[in-house]
């Protein structure tokens, strides 16, 4: 266990703010939704509080019904879990073990490596292509006879880039059916590229294909911990075995059900996110920074100065972003937060 890198969530923001003598830190480090949950969601959660002496529905039956209605997909093709991270981890535990390998992109979401190591499998991190996109052919070529899972993050965290429908179809064609392919679509709602397609339709013809999604991003429920996957019913029954009973709390289920009812508000969030990411990218470029075009709620840029130092100085001035190797990843915030972030970046640079 000591060899498995632990996820580093950073220090509690309130503690950091008080240490730095700041009233507030603008949090642009964790790709969260910058606005609070919809008022209707808050009311539904408040109303459900009186029931939490009971265990939740273990299979999140009502949330599954809501998802089935929204997507027009049979309920037995859904799997709800306490955050999509738990689903991704469950998949590694159910499919992989010593003597197997797991393929994912590099850089991509850190949980794939952690989950592979937890399962005892060998992680195979495959470099992105020259345009910072996942490389479907390279990843398919990396699949070995002992490969159990391919994690494909579309769009990809931390680069924000997406793969086209043709690319994901190619991946599914090239990878043997014995390998579970997980399309992690945590940021799918934010995409506006015309050549993007969710992999959900592919789950109909390929029982080895699973799509994971989350309520932590556009639905603004990161603190609730709720996500879901879509796929072949028998595959899902097998993959979910490592999940503890009653894993997704009652309040999380209630919040997600209510949030799904407000697709009009979700659409507005998507619009303001798109405006915010365009603003951040344009302003960073005006400051002569190198920026990767994003389809998500964050922007990855390669600063002209040392990223760790720059991020540390930005934090001193009350703006938190995540330094990652040669880059900094900045989450799209509210209009005011984005403006403030650019102002501080400009000053600190």
Ligand X SMILES: Cc1ncc(COP(=O)(O)O)c(C=O)c1O
Among 2-10, 83-91, 121-129, 191-199, the segment contacting ligand X (CB under 6 A): 83-91
Q: Is 286 exposed, middle or buried (0-12, 13-18, 19+ CB in 10 A)?
A: exposed
Among 68-76, 79-87, 233-241, 270-278, the segment contacting ligand X (CB under 6 A): 79-87
Residue with the shortest CB distance to ligand X: 83
Among 78-86, 119-127, 130-138, 332-340, the segment contacting ligand X (CB under 6 A): 78-86
Q: Among residues 291, 271, 268, which one has the least CA distance to residue 281?
A: 291
What token pair was written down for 104? 């994912």
109 binds ligand X (CB under 6 A): yes
84 binds ligand X (CB under 6 A): yes
What token pair was written down for 16? 């950091």
Q: Are strands 290-291 and 319-320 parallel, antiparallel or unpaired?
A: unpaired
Kindly state the smallest distance separating residue 255's Cβ from ligand X, in Å: 13
Cis status of the peptide bond prior to 134, with omega within 30 of 0: no
- Separation of alpha carbons 30 and 75, rounded Å: 31
Kindly state the smallest distance separating residue 62's Cβ from ligand X, in Å: 19
Distance of CA 242 to the CA centre of its chain: 21
Window 206-225: residues binding ligand X (CB under 6 A): 214, 216, 222
Cβ neighbours of residue 313 closer than 8 Å, sequence gap 6 or more: 348
Other Cβ atoms less than 10 A from the Cβ of 172: the count is 22
Q: How many residues bind ligand X (CB under 6 A)?
A: 13
153 binds ligand X (CB under 6 A): yes
140 binds ligand X (CB under 6 A): no
157 binds ligand X (CB under 6 A): yes
Site string for ligand X, 23-62 (x = CB under 6 A): --------x-------------------------------
Shorter beta-carbon distance to ligand X: residue 244 or 309: 244
Among 18-26, 77-85, 90-98, 299-307, the segment contacting ligand X (CB under 6 A): 77-85
Residues making contact with ligand X (CB under 6 A): 31, 83-85, 109, 153, 157, 184, 186, 214, 216, 222, 227
């Amino acid at each position: 266990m000591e060899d498995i890198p632990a996820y580093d969530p950073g220090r509690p923001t309130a503690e950091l703010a008080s240490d730095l003598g700041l009233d507030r830190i603008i949090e642009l480090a964790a790709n969260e939704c910058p606005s609070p949950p919809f008022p209707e969601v808050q009311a539904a959660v408040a109303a459900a509080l009186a029931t939490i002496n009971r265990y939740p529905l273990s299979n999140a039956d009502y949330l599954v019904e809501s998802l089935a209605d929204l997507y027009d997909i049979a309920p037995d093709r859904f799997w709800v879990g306490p955050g999509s991270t738990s689903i991704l981890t469950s998949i590694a535990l159910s499919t992989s073990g010593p003597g197997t390998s797991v393929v994912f992109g590099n850089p991509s979401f850190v949980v794939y490596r952690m989950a592979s190591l937890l399962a005892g499998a060998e992680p195979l991190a495959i470099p992105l292509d020259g345009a910072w996109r996942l490389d479907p052919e390279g990843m398919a070529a990396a699949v070995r006879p002992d490969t159990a899972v391919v994690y494909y993050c579309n769009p990809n965290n931390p680069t924000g880039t997406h793969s086209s429908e043709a690319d994901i179809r190619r991946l599914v064609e090239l990878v043997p059916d014995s390998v579970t392919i997980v399309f992690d679509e945590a940021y799918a709602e934010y995409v506006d590229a015309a050549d993007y397609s969710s992999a959900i339709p592919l789950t109909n013809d390929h029982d080895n294909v699973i799509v994971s999604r989350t309520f932590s991003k556009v639905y603004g429920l990161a603190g609730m911990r709720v996500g879901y996957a879509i796929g072949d019913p028998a595959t899902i029954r097998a993959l979910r075995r490592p999940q503890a009973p009653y894993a997704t709390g009652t309040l999380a289920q209630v919040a997600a059900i209510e949030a799904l009812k407000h697709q009009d508000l979700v659409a507005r969030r998507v619009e303001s996110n798109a405006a915010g990411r365009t603003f951040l990218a344009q302003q960073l470029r005006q400051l002569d920074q190198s920026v990767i075009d994003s389809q998500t709620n964050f922007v990855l840029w390669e600063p002209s100065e040392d990223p760790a130092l720059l991020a540390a100085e930005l934090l001193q001035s009350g703006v938190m972003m995540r330094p990652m190797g040669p880059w900094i990843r900045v989450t799209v915030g509210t209009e005011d937060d984005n403006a403030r972030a650019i102002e501080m970046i400009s000053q600190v640079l």
